Structure 1
Amino acid sequence: MSKVIINSYEDFAKLLGQEIGKSDYLQVTQERINQFADATLDHQWIHVDPERAKVESPFKSTIAHGYLTLSLLPYFWNQIIEVNNLKMMINYGIDKMKFGQAVLTGDRLRLVATLHSLANLRGVAKAEIKFVIEIEGASKKALEGIATFLYYFN
């Protein structure tokens, strides 16, 4: 898979309203879930106790933290796009974010990204990226929303 290369505001503008790309799939393992639980101090049994989850969870499995799914966004985004000629980039915010379906341990996720809007703020590119994190083989999305990035081009 080749990345979309962006060297300027004008390069971004050509993508307005279009799908920018899709990332590769990544499997969500119990090890990754446990590491996220340790990092965030969120050790709810639905995430970290496979034996209890088999019996008590409606999913019959442990599930990924919703914020673990969200935290994969930069990893996936960097597979899709390379933005050059920057002084800096700022994660500005996320709007309309919603979780659609639980991510079960072992599920494979990928990002589909579309350029939702683009504005030139006195030389700063404000890019709103519609993101959808899909679960391989599932009809419902794991997560979707609009991420806003500020790109300060040289």
Structure 2
Amino acid sequence: MRQLVCKNFTEFKTYEGKDLPVGAWLTVTQDMINAFAEATQDYQWVHVDLERIEKESPFKKPIAHGFLSVSLLSKMLMDLVHIESMDMGVNYGLNKVRFPSPVLVDSRLRLHSTIKKIEPYTDNGLKITWACTVEIDNVDKPACVAEFVSLMFEDR
């Protein structure tokens, strides 16, 4: 996996409108699904009840929470972009989020993304809109399609 490395925000801004390298594969395990259920208190049976899933689910395997897929965007983007002068980044929001295909346990996911828009935000910050598609290995439809909006702040 390649990573986009920029010295500072000035260099990073030259990538507006451009695709990032394709991300590395990440496997969604049952431990991840269980931890997400614990953190969000969302214990719906399709995620965590292995006996019931085997008997009643059309998928016959646990599926990850849709919000687990979208929650991975931060990590996946951080793996793809490094700005040496950046002090911190925070989530700002999401636009147009969809979950076209369920993520079965032990599926491999990877990110395809574009830096859609970069705007100034305070005197040392940027607001970035990322166009993101989370691919599932060997599945036609993606796990998640979203515009992810983040803020980044540069060292002063």
Offset at residue 53 of structure 1 (A) = 1.0
Q: 1:116 to 1:7 in 2, by over 3 A?
A: same
Give the letter for the 2:81 counterpart. I
Structure 1 position 89, deviation (Å): 2.3
1:6 counterpart residue number: 6
Q: Deviations over 1:122-143 (max 9, x none)?
A: 5432211111111011110100
Letter in 2 for 1:130: A
Residue 63 of structure 1: aligned partner: 63
Partner of 1:113: 113
Query: Does residue 64 of structure 2 align to residue 45 of structure 1?
Result: no
Letter in 1 for 2:137: E
**Separation in 1, partners of 2:26, 2:88:** 28
Separation in 2, partners of 1:51, 1:91: 37
Shift of 1:24: 1.0
As a proportion of its length, which structure holds more strand? 1
Query: How many residues are paired up?
Result: 154
CA displacement 1:96-152 (0-9 Å, x = unmatched)? 111111101111111112101112245432211111111011110100111112222
Which whole-Å deviations, capped at 9, do the CAs of 1:2-35 have from their partners, x for residues lacking one? 3211232322222122111222111111121112
- Could you say what the CA RMSD is over the residues aligned between the two structures, in angstroms? 1.6
Counterpart secondary structure, 1:141 = coil
**TM-score (norm: length of structure 2):** 0.90
For structure 1, the residue ranges without an aligned partner over 5 or more in a row are: none
TM-score normalised over the length of structure 1: 0.91
Q: Which one-letter code corresponds to 2:144 in the other structure?
A: L
What residue identity is the alignment partner of 1:103? V
**Inter-CA distance 122–30: structure 2 relative to 1 (3 Å threshold):** closer
- CA distance in structure 2 between the partners assigned to 1:93 and 1:4 by the alignment: 23
**1:91 matched to which residue of 2?**
91
Contact 2:2 2:21 in 1 (8 A): no
The answer to whether the Cα contact below 8 Å between 2:12 and 2:83 also exists between their aligned partners in 1 is no
Q: In the alignment, what sits opposite 1:35?
A: 35
After superposition, the Cα gap between the structure-2 partners of 1:88 and 1:33, relative to the gap in structure 1 and judged at 3 Å, is closer
Corresponding position: 1:26 with 2:21: no
